[in-house]
């Protein structure tokens, strides 16, 4: 196999890894947007109930108790959103998706005119790909990783985040399962 063929194969592998990484990030982005929307529903209902209660109830003691309960519920919901970093995950996964898509398109453009491919260009692509991975400290939801791995395994080159085997170790007699990832 010639050096040019090896370069083309390497570029195609990185294009596939970038493509799959982009899909993985898009799925994680959609998942966190869905979670945010689900969490926002009780927040909207709680705030709407507070408006109705404040305008209809005239008993000050009952109004005070109901406002405390509704305000505590609102605070709890906002704490959950903050604690699970929903908005940060949404932003990070969207940014990752865009960056991997750009790398994939950049490689597509290079493969259209393979006469310009050299070691420096390949090194640049690998460095760009690695920089995207290193820049973000995110954890993809396990169910999304499993689904994407099952969908593309054996068809495309998978990114390293999908290369690990996901193994469940269940203790007999309990409902406790430990999920570990083994390379």
Look at residue 69 in the predicted model and tell me its pLDDT: 92
Look at residue 117 in the predicted model and tell me its pLDDT: 86
Rounded Cα–Cα distance for residues 44 and 68 (Å): 16
pLDDT at 127 over 90: yes
Rounded Cα–Cα distance for residues 45 and 70 (Å): 10
Structure tokens at 161: 């985040």
Q: Where do the structural domains in the chain lie, given as residue ranges?
A: 3-140
Question: Contacts from 87-92 at CB under 8 Å and sequence distance 24+?
Answer: 87/36, 89/28, 89/32, 89/138, 90/29, 90/32, 90/33, 90/36, 92/136, 92/138
Residues 103, 128 contacting (CB under 8 angstroms): yes
Burial class of residue 47 in the structure, from the number of CB atoms within 10 Å of its CB (0-12 exposed, 13-18 middle, 19+ buried):
middle
Rounded Cα–Cα distance for residues 29 and 112 (Å): 30
Structure tokens at 120: 């420096």
Q: What percentage of the chain reaches a pLDDT higher than 70?
A: 89
Q: 182 forms bridges with which residues in the sheet?
A: 165
pLDDT in tens, 59-91: 889 989 999 999 999 998 889 888 889 999 999
pTM of the model: 0.80
pLDDT in tens, 130-163: 999 999 888 999 999 999 999 999 999 999 898 8
For residue 37, name the pLDDT band (cuts at 50, 70, 90): very high
If phi over 0 gives left and psi between -120 and 50 gives alpha, with beta otherwise, what is residue 153? beta
121 closest CA partner among 2, 1, 22, 10: 10
């Amino acid at each position: 196999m010639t050096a040019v063929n090896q370069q083309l194969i390497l570029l195609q592998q990185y294009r596939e890894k970038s493509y799959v990484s982009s899909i993985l990030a898009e799925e994680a982005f959609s998942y966190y947007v869905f979670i945010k929307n689900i969490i926002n529903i009780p927040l909207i209902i709680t705030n709407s109930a507070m408006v109705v209660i404040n305008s209809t109830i005239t008993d000050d003691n009952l109004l005070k108790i109901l406002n405390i309960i509704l305000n505590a519920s609102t605070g709890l919901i906002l704490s959950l959103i903050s604690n699970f970093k929903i908005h940060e995950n949404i932003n990070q996964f969207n940014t990752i998706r865009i960056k991997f898509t750009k790398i994939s398109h950049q490689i597509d453009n290079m493969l259209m005119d393979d006469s310009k491919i050299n070691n420096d260009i390949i090194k640049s692509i690998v460095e760009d790909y690695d920089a995207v991975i290193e820049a973000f400290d995110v954890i993809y939801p396990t169910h999304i990783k499993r689904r994407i791995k099952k969908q593309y395994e054996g068809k495309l080159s998978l990114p390293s985040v999908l290369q690990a085997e996901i193994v469940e170790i269940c203790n007999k007699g309990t409902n406790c399962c430990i999920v570990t990832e083994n390379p």
